[in-house]
Homo-oligomer: A and B are copies of this chain.
Amino acid sequence: MNRQVIIQDLPKGELTTGHFSVQDGPVPEPAEGQVLVRTILISIDAANRAWMQGATYREAVKAGDVMHGYIIGQVVRSADPAFAEGDLVGGEGRWAEQVICKGRLLEKLPDHRPLSHLISLLGIAGKTAYHGLVNVGLPKPGETVVVSAAAGSVGIFVGQIAKALGCRAVGIAGGAEKCAWLTEELGFDAAIDYRGGNLFRELRAACPDGIDVYFDNVGGEILETVLFQMNMKGRVVCCGAVSQYNATAPTGPRNLPGLVVVKRLRMEGFIVMDFADQDAKAVADLNGWAANGQIKVVEDIVEGLENAPAALVGLLAGENRGKRMVRVAADPA
């Protein structure tokens, strides 16, 4: 049998575990050009929730689907000549123990251990942080970089990369404990608890020279507050809008586009695939910083496929520290 997580209903507002059900299904057989993959790890991403809002940069997910997600696994049977049994692969998959993937949407992965690093440091999270900060934000040494959802999968790398590049790194996160952890464990220069009610004032104190680059994972009110403190010619890296995914009535920052004009800001959206041609440089830099201790790799691994719905719901509530993923099976020997 093949255990899988089905979308029962699409959420209208807040996502709950009740929108999913765990069921057993048959083990599918790969058709021409397809590959059957045994899932080892599933990446849990805020973007998973955005897919339920409708078509984004990819097709929407629908009620009745086995939930979509990025997976790492091992080829069980292949009907694509590019793959053989035992290959380690990563790509768009499903929340299931065994998944049919189109060969052309899979990539072969190096046998890098632990495999989880291929999702965190060297995967979606690390590359998103790297390409967004380095290639969209264009930070210069000495500049101030602010990142929201700073304790999240991407945020922890954004702040640490900013430090490695010689910038001042300031994180915004939910809760005093997370904030203490960002400064004490990960080397952020400052971290602000947005739930504390004094974001504007604390941001001003943490960024005495203003903000040059804002890596925005959340949108909404936090974006609005940060915009007021951007420096002239500042850059807003638009990576996500997690504050809006669960919202039934989205709100736009009231100072947009006014402040973009006044301060000559550049706001630019991107997704990690846009910079695939620069992945090799990203991986080399990230590996180097991890090797010399400038980047600590923090992972938040939830055990068991059946816990994937709760893992996503919790991620949207901000309970994770570092890259969240679900382990479906042990790394192969």
Contact = CB atoms under 8 A, between A and B. Distances in A.
A327 B56 CA distance: 52
Contacts of A244: 258
A266 B235 CA distance: 10
Task: List the number of copies, as a whole number.
Answer: 2
Interface string A243-275: 010000011111111111111111111110010
Interface in A182-205: none
A216 interface: yes
A238 B223 CA distance: 18
A240 interface: yes
Contacts of A255: 250, 252
Interface string A35-79: 000000000000000000000110000000000000000000000
A62 to B, nearest CB: 18
Contact of A260 (B250, B258, B268): B268
A80 interface: no
B266 A266 contact: yes
Nearest to A233: B274
Contacts of A56: 262
Given A268-B265, A268-B267, A252 B256 contact: yes
A305 to B, nearest CB: 29
A231 B254 CA distance: 24
A250 B257 contact: no
Given A266-B268, A271-B264, A219 B257 contact: yes
A261 B274 contact: no
A313 interface: no
Contact of A257 (B223, B263, B264): B223
A265 B136 CA distance: 12
B257 A267 contact: yes
A326 interface: no
Contacts of A256: 219, 252-253, 256
Contacts of A180: none
A213 interface: no
A310 to B, nearest CB: 25
A57 B265 CA distance: 12
A216 B256 CA distance: 12
Contacts of A239: 261
Given A264-B274, A265-B269, A250 B241 contact: no
B266 A267 contact: yes
A224 interface: yes
B258 A267 contact: no
A264 B270 contact: yes
Contacts of A271: 261, 264
8 contacts: A57-B264, A250-B254, A252-B252, A252-B253, A256-B256, A257-B267, A260-B269, A261-B270
